[in-house]
Amino acid sequence: MADVKTMVQTEVVIDGVVSLLAQDQNVEELIHRIEDATASTGRFVRMTVVGNREVHVLVTPTSRASITVATVLHDARDSGDIEFPYGGFYDPGFDG
């Protein structure tokens, strides 16, 4: 049986909008930025998501946020480099 390569995937939900963080994102630092935004009248919080895309989310004192961490199959495209965005479904068995 071949070794299965995995990675940790972090799901962020802010006011019902789900985002999966890119691999290079510092979750603890993001938590602090969300906490800081809720302590103010609100501000945009930037994060890089799967697909190597940058997202800005307005977080206010009334925003609801949750962060979930899970182990999933490895996706080599998920580098967090916004210079190389990608989309679509990932098939780890496809070489083409």
Let me know if residue 68 belongs to a domain. yes
Domain assignment present for 87:
no
Give the model confidence (pLDDT) of 14-71 as tens digits: 999 999 999 889 999 999 999 999 999 999 999 999 888 999 999 999 999 999 999 9
Question: Within a domain: residue 85?
Answer: no
Decide if 65 is inside a domain.
Answer: yes
Residue 23's pLDDT is what? Answer: 86
User: Does residue 39 form part of some domain?
Assistant: yes
Domain that holds residue 63: 6-73
Kind of pairing between the strands at 17-20 and 6-14: antiparallel
Q: Does 86 reside within a domain?
A: no
pLDDT of residue 80: 79
In a domain, 20, yes or no: yes
Please state, as a whole number, how many other Cβ atoms lie within 10 Å of the Cβ of residue 69.
Answer: 10
* Residue 90, in any domain of the structure: no
pLDDT at 57 (0 to 100) = 96
Domains contained in the chain, number = 1
